Amino acid sequence: MGSDFYQQSILPYAGIIIKICRAYTHNHADFEDYYQEVCLQIWRSRANFNKQAKWSTWVYKVALNVCLTHLKQHKRGERRFASDALSELEFDEVKAFDSDEINQLYNAIKHLSEIDRAVILLYLEEKSYAEIAEIIGASSNSIGVRVSRIKERINKIIHQMG
């Protein structure tokens, strides 16, 4: 993009965009595609931004929408939903980051449903329940319970992965 818009309005949020895109892709080429698509979509839809909301909230919302939409379009074969049948999970060891712990956490996150992935990423980024609810379009009352359930499940998966 190379424009002022990218420097000022996207680059400061590149970290979260990267983290979100990583959670929805399985290889570097897809990750770069998703990242670029998110940047473009933020740029294209900048006119729709409601200035009463936070820009960061808007960025998260767009990033998640793009990833979820792309995932639906490009899905081939099985869909992975949260399931208690952990023994049947196949753990794909994606080395997206330098830190082994983060890679392990990401691989666990990738076994969650698409929406649960969004919820936990936003939670880990220290967004409030109200903000998470606004971004994913759910009621804020259910977020707390949902986060607890997701954390429990991630811990289970990590434990299984050994």
Partner 1 sequence: MSKSIEAMWKQGFVDEGELSVPKVNDLYNQKSQNIVDKLQAMFALNIKAIIIGCGVMFIVMTMIGAPLLGGYICLLVSPLIYIAKRELSKSYDLSKGQSSLDYLQNFDLWLKSSIAAYGAYYRVAYPLLYLGMVTQAIMSQAGHKVLALCLTQLPTDYVLFDVPYYLWLVILLVFVVVVRYSEAIYRFDLNVVYGRQFKKLEEIIADMRELKGV
19 near partner 1 (CB under 8 A): yes
Is the Cβ of residue 44 or residue 54 nearer to partner 1 in the bound state?
44
Is the Cβ of residue 53 or residue 75 nearer to partner 1 in the bound state?
75
Helix (H, G, I), strand (E, B) or coil at 73: helix
- Residue from 7, 26, 27, 44 touching partner 1 (CB under 8 A): that is 44
Least distance (Å) between residue 88 CB and partner 1: 21
| Residues in binding contact with partner 1, number by CB under 8 A | 32
Q: For the chain, where are the E strands, in sequence order? A: none
Q: Can you read off the two tokens belonging to residue 66? A: 């793009």
Identify residues 96-125 at the interface with partner 1 (CB under 8 A). Answer: 97-99, 101-102, 104-105, 120, 124
94 near partner 1 (CB under 8 A): no
Helix (H, G, I), strand (E, B) or coil at 55: helix
The DSSP string of 13-34 is: GHHHHHHHHHHT-SSHHHHHHH
Measured between alpha carbons, how far is 130 from 116 in angstroms, rounded to an integer? 16
Is the Cβ of residue 105 or residue 138 nearer to partner 1 in the bound state?
105
Radius of gyration of the chain (CA): 16
Tokens 């900048």, located at residue: 46
Is the Cβ of residue 137 or residue 155 nearer to partner 1 in the bound state?
155
Work out the angle at residue 106's Cα, subtended by the Cα atoms of residues 31 and 61, and round it to the nearest 5 degrees: 60
Residues at the site binding partner 1, with contacts judged by CB under 8 A:
1-3, 6, 11, 14-15, 18-19, 31-33, 35-36, 39-40, 43-44, 97-99, 101-102, 104-105, 120, 124, 151, 154-155, 158-159
